[in-house]
Structure formats: C-alpha cells, structure tokens
Amino acid sequence: MASHEDLVTRIQNVGPGVKVEVATPCNGQPDRAIVRIRYTTNTEWKGVDAILRQDDGFGVPVELVSK
C-alpha cells in the first residue's frame, strides 16, 4: 500500500465512511493479499468505483464491502 499512497488517499477522501485496508483472501495463505475497501453509503461506493475504473489499481484484487 505504501507504493499506492496517493490512490489510498484519493479513495479515503471520497467520504468519512471509506476505509482502505490490506486483508488476506484465505486463511493459511499469508503470502497472498487483497485490498478491502469499506464504505457506508451508495454515494461513497459510486465515488470509489469511479476512482478504481480510471486508475490502474493496486496490482492485487480489490474487495468492496458495505459496512
């Protein structure tokens, strides 16, 4: 995530309910990662989605989760 600080900042600035974190997709596979983005409103989801569609992303799968 350190190499994508600008992307993380842009996503988190979408709204107060948006949080970006690193997670592991499966137990027992600590060498694999996903980026989990949590949001609270539909407006936040739309903002995050718009950013992800116009950016190259994080280089790993992204999971969007409604809080």
Banded pLDDT at 24 (limits 50, 70, 90): confident
Q: How many domains in the chain?
A: 1
What is the domain range of residue 42? 2-66
Q: Collapsing DSSP states into helix, strand and coil, what is residue 32?
A: coil
Alpha helices in the chain (DSSP H): 5-12, 42-54
At 65 the pLDDT is 97
* Beta pairing, strands 34-39 & 19-23: antiparallel
CATH number of the structural domain spanning residue 7 = 3.30.1340
What is the pTM (predicted TM-score) of this model?
A: 0.88
In three state form, how does the secondary structure of 46-64 look? HHHHHHHHHCCCCCCCEEE
